[in-house]
Structure 1
Amino acid sequence: MGRRRLAPQPRSELILVALVVTLTSDKLPEIPPRGVRTGTAATQDEWDAIAKLKSEDWELLVPMTELKLGNPASSHNYFLVNSQHRWTLMRLNIFPDGGVARFRVYGTGQRDWIATDPTDPVDLVAVAFGGVCVGYSNAHFGHPNNMIGKRALRYGGVGPAPSGSTGWETARRPDRPPGNDEKGLLLVPGCEWAVFRLAHPGVITQIEIDTKYFRGNAPDSCKVDGCILTTQEEEDMVKNKWALQTHKWKVLLPTTKLSPNHSHLLDSLTLELQDVITHARLTIFPDGGVSRLRLKGFPSSICLLRPREKPMMRFSVKAGFRANL
């Protein structure tokens, strides 16, 4: 019999400190690429570049904390952070040394809207800018946040979906009918939906619905609605599972036929009918999967509806959270 390899034991003295700072791209020093030198000691040029960041003076997010011991293959340490500032860089320190398998930072993205080109439409629902799903009817195979960039960020940015697993897919409805109406739309008694808070209140001018990788399980059709909600109204809707009055929703995209494995670029309502919204709802008929949702438009000055004085979201680690990471 061969020798059994023992799993590496965690270091009981491993301690971490997390520091953060906000810097613009023009203030970032040029750090020499590591290249084939990965795993070797830093050069003097690299030390000089890092010293320019003055990271020892950054704001403290997580104080020096001893990491909990556990199974080396699944030992997770979570730290709740109460910060409403926008950060661009984070420094992780471990003492005295050791290994970290994964380092993840959860939060809500924020874009520098002052520097936004007013003539260039921007994706107002993207996770990277602060968009987030605040309610949905079904997420059997994938969370709606995947459509706006949650999992896409792990693949280098909010771009084309690398696979169907990085989208939103619902369970198949048992009441899915076999027939179509005279317009070719499936006669459906039910639907699935997801509601998103925009990264910034604004006017939606173009909608992109991408069903790439969903061939036999793409939705038959979809529609998009928008509304204006204050922070308190959103909290009430979350508690009521988004039983919002019909008159509150304004149609941005009427019921539209979708094709499988295809990117649909659709114009929103005409400029005369377009209004500022804070929330958008995507409804698919009767079920299926969508890889990407992009709501492009222009931010509005109506931002007092979501004051920054109070936390945008309250985070808590719930049962099954780790399994969904």
Structure 2
Amino acid sequence: MVYQRIPHEDLAKSALAKLTDVASAALGSTIIEVTDEFFAAATNMINPAPPIHAPGKFVSTGAWMDGWETKRHNPTYDWAIIKLGFAGSIRGFDVDTSYFTGNQAPAASVEAAFAPDGNLKDAKWVEILPKVDLPPSCHNVFVLDKETEVYTHLRVNNIPDGGIARFRAYGTVHAIFPEDKSTVLDLAFVGNGGHTVFCTNEHYTPSSNLLLPGRGQNMGDGWETKRSRIPGYSDHTVIKLGAKGHLLKAVLDTTHYKGNYPNKITLEATSTEQEVPEESAAWTSLIEPSSVGAHGLYYFDLPSTDKAFTHARFTIYPDGGAKRLRLYGIREGGKLPQLPIANPQFEKFDDEVNGNAN
């Protein structure tokens, strides 16, 4: 596989910028097998949060490190297998050795396998990133010349031993849809292939968090913008749906946003062949300016159900944050259900406070 190493500061303008970290624990990815994790667990490597530096902190095995760290003097090499939360193709990596200053893995490589049934015994492993050098305490970003085939598992090779703080695998989720196109799905959900393609502001946290599984654990895994002091200001994010379809119901979750939720929101949709809708795109209004509140769930039955859309634009006024945005509908070619569809059920939080919580 041909690749290019790029500076970390160029990641935001690279081909990886708006791709999904398919290896992230936030998507349900897990470590299912590892050769050694004596000093620090391999699961740290797929933590979506940045690594933490804690000099002077020690545990029974030695210095506490926020990453995956194996014992010294491996005569071959260590490895860890990641089961991806959703099958995906890969375009690049960040093998981060932050805070590993002399105990980092000197090199790494990555292999991949497609085993949707979970049986790796007879799986064929394909090298998708050859052996690369890893300097101490830095991001190491690699862009492949083309996207790989679709895989369900990745094997990170730690050569020969040492520490990797974080491992990111940037790519595209490949959804496995029901055969029946009339099945109601969250078409914005990352597991169904939804992803953000544009956002005006991601000062605190990225808008891609809106599409993650579950309802999150705290305010850190939603979308939050900086404060605006400009009259009439707004921020928005554009979501490419996992499949072109008819949007029937939207659910906005503001859980944990108790003093920084948006004052109002709108939702629009369009249909285009472009990854990012062109400036001349015609947008259909699905939610007119509507007030939302703190720490709850807000349901909206959507008009224009006869139209099929490829993208949605979610706007907040003037700024603030939200945890999740769900856009339920059916894929183009399916039969519309009886409307309005029932409100979906979500896991509850003990301290939900407003009447819109479900």
- Aligned-partner residue type, residue 249 of structure 1: W
Give distance in 2, aligned partners of 1:255 and 1:263: 17
Which residue in 2 is equivalent to 1:214? 257
**1:126-275 map, 5 Å:** 126-149=189-212, 158-176=213-231, 189-231=232-274, 234=275, 237=278, 243-244=279-280, 248-269=282-303, 271=305, 274-275=306-307
Percent of pairs with identical residues: 27
Give distance in 1, aligned partners of 2:292 and 2:276: 32
Which residue in 1 is equivalent to 2:320? 288
Deviation at 1:92, TM superposition (A): 2.1
Question: CA RMSD for the aligned pairs?
Answer: 2.8
Q: Report 1 or 2 for greater relative contact order, CA contacts < 8 Å, sequence distance ≥ 6.
A: 1
Which residue in 1 is equivalent to 2:167? 103
Give TM-score scaled by structure 1 length.
0.65
Pairing 1:93–2:157 present: yes
Deviation at 1:244, TM superposition (A): 3.7
Is the 8 Å Cα contact of residues 203 and 226 (structure 2) preserved in structure 1?
yes
Is the 8 Å Cα contact of residues 198 and 276 (structure 2) preserved in structure 1?
no
Is the 8 Å Cα contact of residues 286 and 304 (structure 2) preserved in structure 1?
no
Unpaired runs of 5+ residues, structure 1, are: 30-49, 150-157, 177-188, 238-242, 303-325
Give distance in 1, aligned partners of 2:329 and 2:267: 14
Measured against aligned partners, the alpha-carbon deviations of 1:74-106 in whole angstroms (never above 9, x if no partner) come to 233222222242211112223333333322211
Give distance in 1, aligned partners of 2:184 and 2:268: 19
Give distance in 2, aligned partners of 1:122 and 1:162: 23
2:111 is matched with which residue: 19, 30, 42? Answer: 19
Which residue in 2 is equivalent to 1:120? 183
Give distance in 1, aligned partners of 2:326 and 2:277: 26
Unpaired runs of 5+ residues, structure 2, are: 1-55, 57-61, 64-99, 335-358
Is the strand fraction higher in 1 or 2? 2
Q: 1:166 to 1:255 in 2, by over 3 A?
A: same
* SS at structure 1 position matched to 2:268: strand
- Aligned-partner residue type, residue 289 of structure 2: T
Is the 8 Å Cα contact of residues 108 and 130 (structure 1) preserved in structure 2?
yes
Runs of 4+ that moved beyond 4 A: 5-8
Give distance in 2, aligned partners of 1:267 and 1:294: 12
Deviation at 1:264, TM superposition (A): 0.8
Q: Count residues with an aligned counterpart.
A: 238
